[in-house]
Structure 1
Amino acid sequence: MQQAEDFRAESRTLAAILEELPEAEFHRATQFKDWTIDHVLGHLHLFNAAAEASLKGEGAFTSFIAPVLQDMQAGRTILECQFPWLDGLSGRALLAAWREGAERCADAFAAADPKARLKWIGPDMSALSSITARQMETWAHGQEVFDLLGHERQEQDRIRNIAHLGVATYGWSFRNRGLDVPEPAPFVQLTGPSGALWEWNAPQDANYINGSAVEFAQVVTQVRNIQDTRLQAVGAAAENWMRIAQCFAGPPETPPGKGARFRTGR
């Protein structure tokens, strides 16, 4: 499954900027809810392991995720829920464990049937959707690490997977907030890092989004405010979507304010 290799590549790209990072740097806060690099790696490591467990069957997944769900039901945040499972793992030791786990997860999904139905915290999903979600979350949480360390990520056309997920969750972004879904969905025309042109939905003169696939992915994953991009959103449906776009599961999240997320100097 190509998407498994895309997830692997995304994980390796993030790992590459952390290879020489001193231990103390893992505890610096990012612009995402003051999560540290350590918190980001712990979160990715936990849910990579959960995805891998889902491939082993409903029983294996239920057993793995039960303690996390119990903590969530007890009122703990998603961040706090990872600490018992990590059992003190942090810093460079966590980096090594996350890298090993990501490779193992990629291997498992590479050999999986893309259409296999897998249990998850929310609705069941296909193996293809599951590993695409892992790539998306690695890329999105990786953004706060790249921003903090002042690095510019060298994007590749695998970003199309995340852009596609963003388009596919158009309706979800509204329904998740109890809003009616505007129809028809906007025409989306994006340019990939290689210059490739990608399109979704029927062409429309007054209801469309046009621009960089990377910037579109930044908006739908909520790592940038649309006003900090050069995306063109024309028409009420397109404009309203870009204000609330959310391509990940969970309760409605508020996108970052204008200028709140940016690449820093070291």
Structure 2
Amino acid sequence: MDAVLAALQGQLDELEGLLAPLDADAWHRPSACAGWDVSDVVLHLAQTNELAAASARGDLARVADGWGRAEGTTVDDVAGDAVAAQRGTAPDEVHARWTASATAMVGALAACPPDQRVPWVVGDMAARTLATTRLAETWIHTGDVADGLGVTLAPTDRLWHVARLVHRTLPYAFARAGEAPPGPVRLALAAPGGDTWTFGPDDAPTVVTGPAADLCRVAGQRAHASDTALAATGPDATAVLRLMRTFA
């Protein structure tokens, strides 16, 4: 748990480094998240940080009031509505809210035993897994903000946790798409620091190789596998590249 929380804090710090010097105009630049400007992205992160903190405290039902999903809607629909309802909040207020929510989230997660089950939008999960999903989402949206600002960020070894999440949640990703679960899958990824990260059995019939950052961007719906250096072989290769994800 300490390792993933340290990675989460590092990712929050990287985003803060982008936000701290922004003037009001920069907050309203379009981000790489379709339809959202920088302020919208940070507002969304603040809202979902608050939910994660509440989940870790055992208070999600109260704080999540209004986040219920109507029939036929998706988690993305609900998140979009939540941002739209508070769009127009002054950038300094959005920034302050995000800062407070990030501190509260990390503190609440740190107080949880790693394997304690906590509620989330896709059902209960271990507190460690919730921390990892928050790392994955914060990383993706940090990239959205950076792209909007014209800043290039180098990937870091924090992505080990995200890549592991991608591998562990493959059965969920397939089930969400209404497809039968894949057979054993092995990831053999080039880490930003030059190492090789492997997940899955050595004899898995389906193998995905390539840069870890590419895998995480594809799983975060920010790139198509065909536009990256990822390669996959085996019976489930095409489906894995199409369905893997890091969010609900």
Q: Would you call these one fold, judging by a TM-score over 0.5? A: yes
Structure 1: how far apart are the matches of 2:55 and 2:174? 28
Could you say which residue in structure 1 is the equivalent of 2:198? 199
Where in structure 2 are the equivalents of 1:67-146 lying within 5 Å?
Answer: 67-69=66-68, 72-73=69-70, 77-84=78-85, 86=86, 89-146=89-146
Task: Kindly state the Cα deviation for residue 154 of structure 1 after the two structures are TM-superposed.
Answer: 2.6
Structure 1: how far apart are the matches of 2:225 and 2:194? 21
Secondary structure of residue in 1 paired with 2:81: coil
Segments of structure 1 that go 5 or more residues without pairing to the other structure are: 250-266
Could you say which residue in structure 2 is the equivalent of 1:248? 247
Could you say which residue in structure 2 is the equivalent of 1:51? 52
Secondary structure of residue in 1 paired with 2:209: strand
Structure 2: how far apart are the matches of 1:216 and 1:35? 24
Structure 2: how far apart are the matches of 1:83 and 1:208? 41
Q: What is the identity percentage for the equivalent residue pairs of Structure 1 and Structure 2? A: 26
Could you say which residue in structure 1 is the equivalent of 2:163? 163
Segments of structure 2 that go 5 or more residues without pairing to the other structure are: none
RMSD: 2.0
- State the AA in 2 paired with 1:200: F
Q: What TM-score do you get using the length of structure 2 for normalisation?
A: 0.90
Structure 1: how far apart are the matches of 2:222 and 2:87? 29
Q: Over residues 16-75 of structure 1, what are the superposed CA-to-partner deviations in whole Å (9 max), with x where a residue is unaligned?
A: 112111112212222322211111111110111111111222xx2101102222xx4286
Secondary structure of residue in 1 paired with 2:34: coil
Task: Kindly state the Cα deviation for residue 189 of structure 1 after the two structures are TM-superposed.
Answer: 0.6
Could you say which residue in structure 2 is the equivalent of 1:256? none
Q: What TM-score do you get using the length of structure 1 for normalisation?
A: 0.84
Task: Kindly state the Cα deviation for residue 150 of structure 1 after the two structures are TM-superposed.
Answer: 1.8
Q: Over residues 123-166 of structure 1, what are the superposed CA-to-partner deviations in whole Å (9 max), with x where a residue is unaligned?
A: 11111011111111101122211122221213221111100011
Secondary structure of residue in 1 paired with 2:202: coil
Could you say which residue in structure 1 is the equivalent of 2:177? 177
- State the AA in 1 paired with 2:56: L
* Contact 2:146/2:153 (8 A) holds in 1: yes
Extract structure 1 runs of 4+ deviating beyond 6 A.
none
Aligned residues: 243
